[in-house]
């Protein structure tokens, strides 16, 4: 990867998220080493990178979950270092799917999270948005993996966030559930929320993201739309050894097993 792939990390419309020279050091490890980018309102923005590249640390600093060593992050005009709670009030964060109190029902949890944001919540409407209204009175532990993911997104929407942060949202899901989740994320964006997500799946990034930042060793090494990044690579003379097949194994899988969600077990 070369520097040529990085285009100016500034967007045309009014940016809702501005990150400037963000830094974080753990002992001798510079986990985040001068990261800068902007995200426009209504974008789906992806952060890619191998494990340990600094994706999660970057997100956590932006979210006000981790102290910032250097640089600034501004969400909807609020500086996170100055007013972390102001930022937390404006964003929605989806953490691991397990991160809920097992003994409470979905409605009880959404009600509680609403209170934590100082809001009255229409729990059933939120659950309908993620197709979990039938599970309203169930406890979280009875949900399947995909249902838990969708519920964790619903819980991140209780405060009508300006920016929704999703950390590896489709990890552990089967292909059907993953496609289902993509459709949900698109519909959330279509309702005016900005989405920032991390992922290990390149297919997911290509499918969903308007733009992606690729991180390695604490730095952004490329930032553009997926198509432009591919075009750049091809323009520099890169060719795959084998020409891309017209379909891949996942297409076969989906063709054989259908798009229908499987949530009976798990």
Partner 1 sequence: MRRRLTLFWVLFVASVKMFVRNRLAVFFSLFLPLVIMLIFGVLNFEGGGSVSVGLVDEADTQVSRALVGAIESVDTFELSTGDRQSELAALGEGERDVVTVIPDGWGEAEDGPPLTAYVAASAQQSGQIGTLILNALVAQVLIGEQGAGVGPLVAVETVNARDLGYIDFLVPGILGLTIMQLGLFGVAFGFVQMKRTGALRRLFATPTPAGYFLSAQIASRLVLGLAQVGILLGIGMAFGLNLVGSLALLLAVALLGAVIFLGMGFAVAGWAKNEDQAAPVANVISLPMMFLSGTFFPRDAMPEALRGVTEFMPLTYLNHALRTIANEGAGPAEIGGDLLGMAVWAAIAFLLAVRLFSWE
Contact between 82 and partner 1 by CB under 8 A: the answer reads: no
Contact between 120 and partner 1 by CB under 8 A: the answer reads: no
Task: Report the 10 Å Cβ neighbour count for 50.
Answer: 11
Question: Which of 111/216 has CB closer to partner 1?
Answer: 111
**E runs forming strands in the chain:** 15-26, 29-40, 44-48, 70-75, 78-79, 91-94, 163-167, 194-199, 211-216, 219-224
The least distance separating partner 1 from the CB of residue 59, rounded to whole angstroms, comes to 11
Contact between 99 and partner 1 by CB under 8 A: the answer reads: yes
Binds partner 1 by CB under 8 A, chosen from 69, 108, 207, 210: 108
Q: Which two tokens stand for residue 84?
A: 């972390």
Contact between 85 and partner 1 by CB under 8 A: the answer reads: yes
The least distance separating partner 1 from the CB of residue 214, rounded to whole angstroms, comes to 26
| 3 state SS of 78 | strand
Binds partner 1 by CB under 8 A, chosen from 2, 4, 96, 187: 96
Contact between 248 and partner 1 by CB under 8 A: the answer reads: no
- Name the burial class of residue 134, with classes exposed (0-12), middle (13-18) and buried (19+) by CB atoms within 10 angstroms of its CB: exposed
Q: Are 49 and 215 in contact (CB under 8 A)?
A: yes
Q: How far apart are the first and last CA of the chain?
A: 40
Binds partner 1 by CB under 8 A, chosen from 81, 104, 124, 233: 104
- Site residues for partner 1, window 137-176 (CB under 8 A)? 139, 155
Contact between 119 and partner 1 by CB under 8 A: the answer reads: no
Contact between 39 and partner 1 by CB under 8 A: the answer reads: no
Contact between 212 and partner 1 by CB under 8 A: the answer reads: no
Q: Are 176 and 168 in contact (CB under 8 A)?
A: no
Q: What is the DSSP string of 10-64?
A: --SS-EEEEEEEEEEEETTEEEEEEEEEEEETT-EEEEE--TTSSHHHHHHHHTT
Question: Which of 2/115 has CB closer to partner 1?
Answer: 115
The least distance separating partner 1 from the CB of residue 11, rounded to whole angstroms, comes to 25
Task: List residues near partner 1 by CB under 8 A.
Answer: 63, 65, 85-86, 88-89, 93, 95-96, 98-104, 108, 111-113, 115-118, 139, 155
């Amino acid at each position: 990867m070369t520097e040529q792939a990085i285009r100016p990390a500034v967007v045309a419309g009014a940016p809702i998220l501005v990150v400037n020279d963000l830094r974080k050091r753990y002992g001798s490890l510079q986990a985040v080493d001068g990261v800068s980018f902007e995200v426009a309102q209504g974008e789906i923005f992806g952060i890619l990178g191998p494990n340990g590249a600094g994706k999660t640390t970057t997100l956590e600093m932006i979210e006000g979950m981790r102290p910032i060593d250097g640089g600034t992050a501004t969400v909807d005009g609020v500086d996170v270092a100055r007013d972390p709670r102001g930022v937390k009030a404006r964003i929605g964060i989806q953490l691991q799917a397990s991160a809920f109190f097992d003994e409470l029902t979905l409605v009880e949890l959404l009600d509680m999270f609403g209170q934590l944001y100082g809001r009255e919540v229409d729990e059933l409407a939120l659950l309908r948005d993620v197709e979990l209204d039938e599970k309203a009175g169930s406890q979280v532990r009875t949900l399947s993996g995909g249902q838990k993911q969708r519920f964790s997104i619903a819980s991140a929407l209780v405060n009508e966030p300006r920016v929704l942060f999703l950390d590896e949202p489709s990890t552990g899901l089967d292909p059907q559930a993953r496609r289902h989740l993509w459709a949900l994320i698109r519909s959330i964006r279509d309702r005016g929320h900005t989405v920032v997500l991390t992922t290990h799946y390149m297919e997911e990034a290509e499918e969903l993201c308007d733009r992606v930042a690729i991180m390695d060793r604490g730095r952004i090494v490329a930032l553009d739309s997926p198509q432009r990044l591919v075009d750049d690579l091809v323009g520099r003379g890169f060719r795959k050894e084998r020409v891309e097949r017209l379909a891949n194994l996942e297409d076969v899988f989906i063709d054989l097993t259908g798009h229908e969600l499987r949530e009976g077990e798990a």
